[in-house]
Structure 1
Amino acid sequence: MSKTDEIVVIGAGVIGISIGLELVRAGYSVRVLDREGLAAGASQGNAGAFAFTDIVPLATPGIMRKAPKWLLDPLGPLSIPLRYALKIAPWMLRFWRASWKDRYHHSVEAQTALMSLAKEALERQITSTDGESLILRQGQMQLYEGEKEFRASLPQWELRREQGIRYELFETPEDIARIQPGLDPRFTHAGYTPDWINTVDPKTWVEHLASAFTALGGVIEKRDIHNLSHTAGGVRLTYSGGEIHATKAIVAAGAWSHHLAKTLGDKFPLETERGYNTTLPKGAFDVRTHLTFSGHGFVVTPINGGARVGGAVELGGLDLPPNYKRADILLKKAASFLPGLNTEGGTQWMGFRPSLPDTLPVIGTAPQAQNVIYAFGHGHLGLTQAAATAEIVKTMVQGKPAPIDTTPYRPTRF
């Protein structure tokens, strides 16, 4: 194929690389472009979790009653910087509407369908790339401080049961210690999902997929695409110093995707979940499963034999400077919750996660350009849903029916 016959994927994170890999396997000539390079954003610093059981959207019924507290607690599990509050107000209105019971249940159903495909697609991806050595099958545990917090979580566990998700509920510290010893006894209850999967390191996983992609003839280049335009023969992609012509373009640029969509006349209420973490070196703690501290909005996960402490959600856009006090407070809490945790020698990180009000991604053809496909807005579930998104996008490129109903993810829903 000539350069004009190429498919160009914008974004070299786990979504873009997975799409590129799926397309090159199907026989297409594919180039992946990224403003910073391979796995330079959220794909390198996330918790490394394939969170297939995470079907509950952020916009849950009654959540807006907590909004004033978010503004007053800049270091809480979900916060909005005061100077960003006015700018994010339109997004918050959509978020509030998404939390109504009718929209909420719709989002749960759509998320469940995507997660079901994602679980199967990941296994196909692991097998086809010989990636089992990079996978941890150790489950996940959500921890609760006392019976009141545990009882409040039971409706969500019932929702998981209805969707066929396997789990066990523990009601004593002794039961918890069978899976994960070393926790402070304040954590009296827990829910354990044994089918949860992690990778030993998310950046290494993306690099592994990229190696498979380039081995099949795929190309990865550093290019800051800033404009897209529809042409009679396909798509024109413009960057500083030049332009690229392609038959099709896939926009998978994470938190920057809406800027590219805007050049085609499409506007999306995409906001940025700014995630913070600290990665501790090997031997910091014997993390035997993915630990979720539900009441505090953060996790402790095994990464390369060490531990990554991070999470929480700061809705603060792309331009505000990082507030690493958030990482500090999470690490301090983790040291309290895991008395044996060695907090020395850690590396802090902050990354941007693209978030839409209903917690569902955009996957579909651009309304203003039939040769452009959008695949972004996965929030903190990009790693989890990458393989599924890639399989869906491949069918769209091929003009075949998608493996699931893609109506809930359509670009025009906003």
Structure 2
Amino acid sequence: MRTQGIMSDEVVIVGAGIVGLAIAFHLQGEGRRVRLIERGGVAEGASRGNAGAFAFTDILPLASPGILRKAPKWLLDPLGPLAIPPAYLPSIVPWLLRFWRASRPDRYRGSLVVQGELMRVAAAAMEAMVRGAGLSHRVRADGNLQLYESEAELAAAQHGWDQRARAGIVFEHVRGARLAELQPGLAPRFVAGTFTPHWKTVDDPYHFALALFEAVMARGGAITHGEVAALVPTETGVRVSLRDGTRLDAGQAVIAGGAWSRPLAAGLGDAIPLETERGYNTTLPPGAFDLRRQLTFGGHGFVVTPLVTGIRVGGAVELGGLKRPPNFKRSEAMLAKAAAFLPGLRTGGGTQWMGFRPSLPDSLPVIGASKASERIVYAFGHGHLGLTQSAGTGRIVADLIMGRRPPLDLAPLRADRF
């Protein structure tokens, strides 16, 4: 058994995905030493294959009254935007009940307000982090175009756009020549779109995360590879035990392990209903289509994103846990739809991927102290908004670690809210 001595100014961060890396970067800005602990490769989870968007305008919680109307139809299609493998249904019933409660109008409105506040913090923090880490050249500001197959579909989405307008989000409903200008080559079935000009994407989410990791290492960060078995508060800090017998002592710890965070929180006395949205995609070679910006096919639950590494077609939600093998028929179904929606899209030579998005029933993350000790802070459960909210989470966690008041009320993000 190996034990590393305690350093009161060192913070151990469990998880070297984009959220853990952003936390590390912000803590270094406070003069703190950081040590990342990663069970696999750096940014090899959801941070590797996501859609690469800074979705600061995406303030509408997945848990919403509208989703309850759509879900039954979607669930009948095993390859549709929302799927639950029948064998997994008994395991996820408690989570679904909480999701249903969170979808009630009063709770939805509360989550909407919190999500909007969190996005404002996230946008400002991301701008500062991108600048401070020298990553500005990796960010594209060419907006997002959400597409509709009928005027009725646009009208059905108008309530959500009204909510965004009240939050100060800029958008433009487009048709005809303006639609074709924003994205040439669309299938005629798309009669309207909504353009959000301030939407941003990164050149490639994996490259972006690795560049942030390099910035953290250049500032004196350290990393230990191994799987964390438990965290235990001590009189002077926190002891972190790895499954290989290694013990690490530090002043404070942050759990930012994404989909793998639940058992660590349970060991500290916090029963958090964390589930996994299994996301699928196919990345086609560069030049597969003249894609001007990220496109969202909301009625079908997927997006198409231009990256330096190619064109990524992916999204949808499969609630299936961590252990089931991937069902890449879901990737194939989205790619077939993309080919129909974008005539001329060359679909050969693609690479398929599946990743785990850590998801909580009310569509909000857990950010705050553990039940066991204020020296252990949680920062996980961002769903499909991990990249978007990573820097904001880093800012909030740094405030907590440094004993400052965070920039928003964290009561709705508490671990015991369920």
Bin the TM-score by the shorter chain: over 0.9
Unaligned runs of 5+ in 2: none
Q: CA deviation at 1:156?
A: 0.7
1:285 aligns with 2:289: yes
**Which one of the candidate residues 36, 41, 46 is aligned to 2:45?**
41
Aligned length: 413
**Which one of the candidate residues 233, 237, 240 is aligned to 1:234?**
237
Q: Secondary structure at the match of 1:292?
A: strand
RMSD: 1.3
1:79-123 superposed Cα distances (whole Å, 9 cap, x missing partner):
111111111000000000000010000000000001011111111
Q: Equivalent residue for 1:193?
A: 196
- Aligned ranges for residues 18-57 of structure 1 at < 5 Å? 18-57=22-61
Does the aligned pair in 1 maintain the 2:141–2:198 contact within 8 Å?
A: yes
Q: CA deviation at 1:70?
A: 4.2
Q: Secondary structure at the match of 1:73?
A: coil
Q: CA deviation at 1:221?
A: 2.2
Q: Equivalent residue for 2:411?
A: 407
Q: CA deviation at 1:72?
A: 2.5
Does the aligned pair in 1 maintain the 2:79–2:330 contact within 8 Å?
A: yes
For 1:7 and 1:83, locate their aligned partners in 2 and report how far apart those are by CA, in whole Å: 40
Q: Equivalent residue for 1:146?
A: 150
Q: Secondary structure at the match of 2:346?
A: coil
- Aligned ranges for residues 251-400 of structure 1 at < 5 Å? 251-304=255-308, 306-400=310-404
Q: CA deviation at 1:200?
A: 0.4
Q: Equivalent residue for 2:90?
A: 86
TM-score (norm 1): 0.98
Q: CA deviation at 1:127?
A: 1.1
Q: Equivalent residue for 2:137?
A: 133
Q: Equivalent residue for 2:68?
A: 64
For 1:154 and 1:365, locate their aligned partners in 2 and report how far apart those are by CA, in whole Å: 38
**Which one of the candidate residues 180, 183, 186 is aligned to 2:183?**
180
Q: CA deviation at 1:390?
A: 0.2
1:96 aligns with 2:103: no
Q: Equivalent residue for 2:210?
A: 207
1:225 aligns with 2:238: no
Q: CA deviation at 1:13?
A: 0.3
1:174-215 superposed Cα distances (whole Å, 9 cap, x missing partner):
221111111101100111000000000001111111111111
For 2:66 and 2:391, locate their aligned partners in 1 and report how far apart those are by CA, in whole Å: 32
Q: After the TM superposition, which of the residue ranges 3-12 and 97-106 deviates more from structure 2?
A: 3-12
For 2:302 and 2:134, locate their aligned partners in 1 and report how far apart those are by CA, in whole Å: 31
Q: Secondary structure at the match of 1:369?
A: coil
For 1:102 and 1:148, locate their aligned partners in 2 and report how far apart those are by CA, in whole Å: 26
AA of the residue aligned to 1:185: P
Unaligned runs of 5+ in 1: none
Q: CA deviation at 1:272?
A: 0.3
1:132-181 superposed Cα distances (whole Å, 9 cap, x missing partner):
11011110011000111111011111111110000000133x22111111
Q: CA deviation at 1:26?
A: 1.0
AA of the residue aligned to 1:214: M
Does the aligned pair in 2 maintain the 1:71–1:81 contact within 8 Å?
A: no
Q: Secondary structure at the match of 2:261?
A: helix
Does the aligned pair in 2 maintain the 1:45–1:351 contact within 8 Å?
A: yes
Does the aligned pair in 1 maintain the 2:5–2:249 contact within 8 Å?
A: no
Q: CA deviation at 1:302?
A: 0.7
Does the aligned pair in 2 maintain the 1:363–1:373 contact within 8 Å?
A: yes
